[in-house]
Structure 1
């Protein structure tokens, strides 16, 4: 009886230890498998991130240019051929290109009141850029000011010189003189030519 009791106790202990080690092994295998899957996912994310970083604009990249009027709150878009200047640029390089253009835009964009040129979305398949304009009131194209006693003609952006004239502000009629001193807008080229012809010496 005593031998049977001891043998039963021994078998129970052996079974308990076996179950413990088996459970430990299974848990460890599951943990290692999950860890491996996490590492694989992390590597995939890193590879994906590297791939996105290396993406560049190609000849086949679709190019969409948006035009936003910040005065009227309207947005239009146009599908255009990808400019040669964009081909080969990464996302960061394209952003730098747009910043450079924004600081020194074309004369046409200045006259239209360009405020910003920015990247909306970027991938090797499609890029979307947006030009934001704030048109000048009543389509003014020129701006007259008095500088060093003479009339200087600027484009409507007030920063690009159209012409330095030899027209002395002192020789202008008093009312016109006041307008020029305060800054006078001119709408058309004909109106500008009439002014220059009438008051040039």
Structure 2
């Protein structure tokens, strides 16, 4: 009997930023549960609370976590946001000095990453990063992919119908020309 070479891919374990141990994670979760903001030593606490309050008034259940420095990989921030999101439902944004990681149970990954791009590279200015992030989340989607797809499908159908019409007209002309040529060869009078 031949051996089976079935491969099973298991999800990778979440890797939190190196500075976040179990104790720090418990502290962050408790801080977020308190007022939806967790920052090191209360830095920018008031400004971030105002952004969270405003976002929540616009229907975005936001929580913000700030960690100092930049972790080894930017994906560590997404893993931390996901870990916080398991207990704090809504949208969680984790900001480091230059990177952003997010989790949301209501906003698409595409829109989150678009908002992340706006918030990156703020060199530790977490209030500015959070404001840019929320600003992009609140913008209405300017592109309706359904409308674009519908227009492309309709255009394709019209092009196919147009090509069929041209081809059938050409075939009819060629058939008529062949009939005329056949009659000429036979010497039949043309009517």
| Fold in common (TM above 0.5) | no
Rg larger in structure: 1
Relative to the length of structure 1, the TM-score reads 0.23
Relative to the length of structure 2, the TM-score reads 0.24
Q: Which has the higher strand share?
A: 1
Q: Which has the higher helix share?
A: 2
